[in-house]
Structure 1
Amino acid sequence: MGSADTGHLVTLGLGEQAARTYLALVALGTSTLDQLAEVVGHRPDEIRCGVEELIQVGLAGRAGPDRGQFVAMPPGPALDLLTRRREAELAAARVAAADTFRALRQGVVEGVENLLEVIRGPAVQDRIRQLEQSVRSEVRGLDSPPYYTGADVNQTELDNLAAGIRYRAVYAKTALERSEYLTDNVVPCVKAGEEARTLPEVPVKLLIFDTDCALLSLSLAEIDNGEGAALLIRPSSLLAALTGLFEVCWRAALPLALGEQDTGPYLQPSERRLLGLLAAGLGDEQVARTLGISRRTLFRHLEGLMSRTGAANRFQLALHAKRNGWI
């Protein structure tokens, strides 16, 4: 009884024990359970289930006056039955596999759709307002053009700052070069307590609300109709990556000192703002326009600061301001 002979029967769905028992029964002819057990090499109680399986599929039958003997039956009809049974099992397996694939795929797609939401047009500002009004502890942002609304102050931010909500923002140089936006939006928020820093440029335009979600704004080059658009990102590995990106930018950025805090007898609030704007990389014309003074007045302020600090140039003035916590 070779393994190849039993292998064909097993392939059709017959158990290994039943397959070996059938081959032994064919070789013996009519035989008892004890005789079969001796040939197969197992105890009678160990091959009983195999014999019952053979009887069930029609490969064996009972014989003798007391029906205590067993005889092998022609395999044709039984093999047809086994073949049909295996085909039915395979068909059911194919259906189950297809159903499982569809269910998993649907779950993945629905999961992605739940994590991401595209917002367009005026709905962008409405959603930002809703998210800010529901924030619990902190708003973090990377700020750069384009802007889809006017430069008016963000009253929701001012209200949140008054209520103890923390705001941290990193502004790109291009954002601060917009005089109206700087004067009417950035400066009032910084005065109210926003922690502001600046970089020459930021990688994305981003707002993060607590640890709940982030709003990633698309640039004008990324949209077809020139209308504002943003991507809302809910808790996920992508949100974690964007949060990490903000923290890297925050650590690399320079403080933007635009507040009116008391800085001691050696630095007036207007001078502190001047130094903060210069540290942000703005040109003389932009600084003068933001402060509402002429270039000549700006140079006079700079000369006075350098004279008081003993700085020979702007670089030394910046070092002195940084060392003394002016910026």
Structure 2
Amino acid sequence: MADDLPAQLRRLGVGASEAAVYAHMLKVQPATAAELASALGWRREDLEAAVGELTRLGLVSGAMAGDGVLKPAEPSIALECLAHARSAELLQARIAATNAYGGYRRTVHPQPTEDLVEVLTGADIVERIHQVEGSVESEVLRFDSPPYHTDGQPNEEEVRSLAGGVVYRVVYSRSAVQNADYYACNIKPCIAAGEQARVLPTVPVKLTVFDRRVAFVSMSFVEAEINDSMLVVYPSSLLSALIGLFETSWRAAFPMHLGTREPPAVSPLRRQILELLATGLTDDSIAQLLGISRRTLSRHLEQLSYSAGAVTRFQLALHASREGWI
């Protein structure tokens, strides 16, 4: 990492000459300007120019006059100032590029809605999905239902984002949970990584909202057969309405996962059975998803009903909810 220091300093806006001098000073004892110039094979005036800039940045201390001894300064404050300055420059560049693209879109598509909604088709869809999900910072809201532009493959980007502190709240449709392969390779790993998951018989729309600043709206099965496209919705009243729709559905949805809390009266397997049972799945589907036999499932349901004193599954669901089993 020490050999890479000059390159890292340049990322913060330190010049190439200054970065080389500072990296060298960290490897040797405090030295005079003449000694540093000789060690680096530089002209004295070039060395003094670089040291002067490093002194201005707060990375070098010591007097130049009379060949005074120079030494590297503790860099925390100086590097923090450089990082803030660099962030401000990057923000200005981002704003400039965004404004320039906005001007281009208004020229090509003069309709006012073009600044609010973008239509993607074909290969652009998957590319944009990976691009935006890979840069998410704090929160993702999602209605999950087939079909999938990514073919229902494991969502490694979500797992990495969850590990980095990003909050995922996902409402699955029953059709998504019923897909055994998708449940095993996508849903279960994401829940295990910390995703907050709930389920509804159906979701109102295929939707993903990133950091409440951009939303992807995809087509349903029927629509996808006619027009394979995706809408990108930018900050607007439409985006606010989509977020409101998600929050309403989230409150109505049934939880599939309750974090690490394990109700003492019910084993983890039986809690999973109750959660999946509440989604409306058939017994065969539940057994397949959990990797158990239909007979084993029936035995667990009988014991749950006996513990709850329930005759029907509706009574079992009421008791499980009241007792905090799910």
Question: SS at 2:318's partner residue?
Answer: helix
What is the correspondence of 1:1-327 to structure 2 with a 5 Å cutoff?
109-223=110-224, 228-257=228-257, 261-327=260-326
Does structure 1 retain, via aligned residues, the 8 Å contact 2:169–2:196? yes
What is the Cα deviation at residue 109 of structure 1?
2.8
Question: SS at 2:142's partner residue?
Answer: strand
Structure 2 residue aligned with 1:50: none
What is the Cα deviation at residue 149 of structure 1?
3.1
Q: Distance in 1 between matches of 2:133 and 2:229?
A: 18
Amino acid at match of 1:169: V
Identity %: 50
Amino acid at match of 2:183: L
RMSD of aligned C-alpha atoms? Answer: 2.2
Question: SS at 1:180's partner residue?
Answer: helix
Q: Distance in 2 between matches of 1:312 and 1:280?
A: 19
Q: Distance in 1 between matches of 2:171 and 2:279?
A: 11
- Give the structure-2-normalised TM-score: 0.63
Q: Identify if the C-alpha distance between structure 1 residues 108 and 117 changes in structure 2 by more than 3 Å, giving closer, same or farther.
A: closer
Does structure 2 retain, via aligned residues, the 8 Å contact 1:198–1:253? yes
What is the Cα deviation at residue 107 of structure 1?
11
Question: SS at 1:207's partner residue?
Answer: strand
Where in structure 2 are there 5+ consecutive unaligned residues? 1-105
What is the total number of aligned residue pairs between the two structures?
Answer: 221
What is the Cα deviation at residue 291 of structure 1?
0.7
Q: Identify if the C-alpha distance between structure 1 residues 124 and 310 changes in structure 2 by more than 3 Å, giving closer, same or farther.
A: same
What is the Cα deviation at residue 309 of structure 1?
2.8
Question: SS at 2:143's partner residue?
Answer: strand
Question: SS at 1:135's partner residue?
Answer: coil
What is the Cα deviation at residue 138 of structure 1?
0.5
Question: SS at 1:281's partner residue?
Answer: coil
Q: Which structure would you say has the larger Rg?
A: 1
Q: Identify if the C-alpha distance between structure 1 residues 298 and 160 changes in structure 2 by more than 3 Å, giving closer, same or farther.
A: same
What is the Cα deviation at residue 241 of structure 1?
1.2
Where in structure 1 are there 5+ consecutive unaligned residues? 1-104
Does structure 2 retain, via aligned residues, the 8 Å contact 1:173–1:201? yes
Question: SS at 2:137's partner residue?
Answer: coil
1:149-179 per-residue CA deviation (whole Å, 9 max, x = no partner) reads 3333211111111111111111111111111
Q: Distance in 1 between matches of 2:126 and 2:324?
A: 36
What is the Cα deviation at residue 313 of structure 1?
2.6
Q: Distance in 1 between matches of 2:251 and 2:285?
A: 26
